[in-house]
Amino acid sequence: MKSAGPYERNAPEASPGVGAPSEITLGPAGFLSSFGNSPAFGKSEMSGQSRRSGVRAGMLTLYLLRHGQTSFSRANAFCGAALNPSLTDEGHQMAESFAKAYASQKWEAIFTSTLKRTLETAAPICSATAITPQPRDDLKEIGYGKWEGKTVAEVSKEYHDDYLRWTADPAWYPPTEGEPAISIAHRSLRVVEEIERVYENGNVLIVSHKATIRILLCSLLGIDVGRFRYRLGCPVGSVSVVEFGEHGPLLKRMADTSHLDESLRNLPGT
């Protein structure tokens, strides 16, 4: 694996069945062209300026919406890229609540992962705004490998050593036969680079998943990707907002659930 700074020099070799993340290439334009210098990857601060002109002509704002409740989130079980559940009734209510609160806002585009739970979450806002969703496989949830569908207690018992390594540093230690966080950072940023390239201004919605959104936020904001589980919350149905201004990505809202009523905000699970 190619070294890319102090953080990466100590990275372990990829686990069996997990390819080492490729060197990120985000193109010559946009804020993310300097992503390799992000502190999340052990280097200096991201420049935050467009390579096209040095200063952006307008403001691009990303809304990162986590999908609504599923039976797995309700049970606090690992539900990654290999599982494709539908939303619960409450999950559909969350999707409708978001659409009701945000349908009047002008949207340039709506992106989702390719998994059913994000497509179902996006359906009401897409219907209300007459915008066709743009699914991207790079926005899918982390691959939990052998842990898919299991609870934390089950994983800790059956894959104890792997679980301890993952909780210590999920950036480089993946779930058993799963995906390290650094890989999610690379693939999710490819979508953000695409968005930044095509939509220089306006509001763009991304409907994705708990781990993917937190890892993406860490990558954009210069937070160590290995700390994504301990630095950022992301309850079901929550939305986080990042503006791309003159000085780079700026977090405006984090895990906002104000569009949900109290009963939906206080549901059990994660």
- pLDDT at 58 (0 to 100): 74
pLDDT attached to residue 33: 39
Q: Is the residue at 40 inside a domain? A: no
The per-residue pLDDT for range 190-209, each reduced to its tens digit, is 999 999 999 989 999 999 99
Residue 32 lies in a domain: no
252 inside domain: yes
Buried b (16+ CB within 10 A) or exposed e, 156-170: eeebeebbebbeebb
* Residue 238 reports pLDDT greater than 60: yes
Residue 10 within a domain: no
The span from the CA of 99 to the CA of 127, in Å, is 9
* Higher local confidence (pLDDT), 10 or 128: 128
The domain that holds 88 is classified in CATH as 3.40.50.1240
Work out the average pLDDT over 79-92: 98
Domain extent at residue 217: 59-141+181-265
**37-70, pLDDT tens digit by residue?**
443 543 333 333 333 334 555 799 999 999 999 9
- Tell me, yes or no, whether 113 lies in a domain: yes
Whole-number pLDDT of residue 57: 59
Number of domains in the chain: 1
pLDDT on residue 45 = 34
